[in-house]
Amino acid sequence: MTTATRPDSISPAPKVGPPTKHQLAVMIWIAVFPTLTALNLLFGEWLGELGTVLRTFVLATVAVPIVIYGLMPQLHRLRVRLLSR
């Protein structure tokens, strides 16, 4: 028994491979720069009272989950959409 392909079926979009290291660097920059800017604008006065190491620790602790779980998945989807055209 053979499976016939239906003529009205839509072929799947071509697979897009993982980003190159240059694409990934740009995506990370696009996610990190605005996140750190927004955090500095929102919490700048409070963070200014902290020492450099503690300020950096607080920023990294807040920014990393935002970037990794919030922004990077969206940027990966956008990249796939753009490259699938």
| Nearest Cα to Cα of residue 23 among 76, 85, 84, 81 | 76
Interhelix angle 72-84/21-48, nearest 10 degrees: 150
Cβ distance 83 to 16 under 8 Å? yes
List, for residues 3-32, the tens digit of each pLDDT value. Answer: 555 555 565 656 889 999 999 999 999 999
More reliable by pLDDT, 15 or 71: 71
Between residues 4 and 62, which one has the greater pLDDT?
62
Task: Indicate whether this model's pTM tops 0.85.
Answer: no
Q: How many CB atoms lie within 10 A of CB 27?
A: 19
* Domain spans, the chain: 33-84
- pLDDT, residue 26, reads 97
Residue 15 has a pLDDT of 86
